[in-house]
Amino acid sequence: MLRGVITAIVTPMNQDGAIDFDSLTNLIKFQIKNGIEGLVVAGSTGEGSLLDPDEKIAVVSHIIKINQGHAKIIMAFNDIATSFAVEFTKKLNAIPGIDFYLVTTPAYVRPTQEGMYQHFKTIALTSTRPIILYNIPGRTVCDLDNQTVLRLAKDHANIVGIKDATGNLTRASGLFEGRGPNFAVYSGDDKTSAEFVLNGGDGVISVASNLFPDKFKELISNALSGNKLLVTELNDKFLGLYKALSLESNPVALKWALSVNGITRHEMVRLPLLPLSVSSQEQMKLVLMDLK
């Protein structure tokens, strides 16, 4: 079972919007150097919904080459139509070096729980790799119930975990209690992740760890060890960052901060996202200064 800090990496872009593979290389090496356990590719933070399938494959292929087996590679995808997800899964199955798939609930169409069960079941039957479910109703307006999650895990051995981005710790406790021994539950909400892990979670798929992988790994490692006092002290230092990263739609503030810190060259995002506003930049500058 994969445990610890998994970074949901950004997809760096040049000023013309093309993928900046040099900055991507630098970011991956930075994560590996700091001992991050896993890397999510083309997720929400990676602007996966704004990349075409060929770009996603180019990005993950480049990361696999740079990573050289150090961190686990988790390929994300968020197709609405089950048939599209199946076809993309088949393409990914042919790429060596991917360890897991992170599959998001279908956005916009608002399926029933049975519809989502059948969606994930169909993908699981196609996949040659273990699958982590991704529930983020704040973005998809589609909420995967705990009962559906546990049913999927029971019925399909290659469904091995969930990224829960609801931020609802009471709800997460139902997953902790109902899951089997080989099913992982990850926080997808940085600001509640420390408490999430202290209460039984296996780690976090994090936005903040793009910027501070070493500090965030220290936080979550102590949470996994049950060191509540130190976790509280460490987490308090991140409170301003959590707020700043949500000033505008993720990953806008994060990409600006990465470029300011010299980890990537540009803050470029793709329309309909826009670069970080001047007023938000001033707030982010203060937060970055405090964390140095």
Active site residues: 134, 163
Query: What CA–CA distance (Å, rounded) separates 200 from 186?
Result: 10
Hey, what are 174's tokens?
Answer: 């139902």
The DSSP line for 224-262 is HTT-HHHHHHHHHTTHHHHHHHTSSSTTHHHHHHHHHTT
Give the number of other Cβ atoms within 10 Å of residue 246's Cβ: 15
Query: What CA–CA distance (Å, rounded) separates 151 from 157?
Result: 11
Give the number of other Cβ atoms within 10 Å of residue 90's Cβ: 12
Q: To 10 degrees, what angle do helices 190-198 and 213-224 make? A: 30
237-238-243 Cα angle (round to 5): 130
Q: Which residue in this structure is represented by tokens 């609802």?
A: 168
Q: How many helices (H) and strands (E) does the chain have?
A: 13, 8
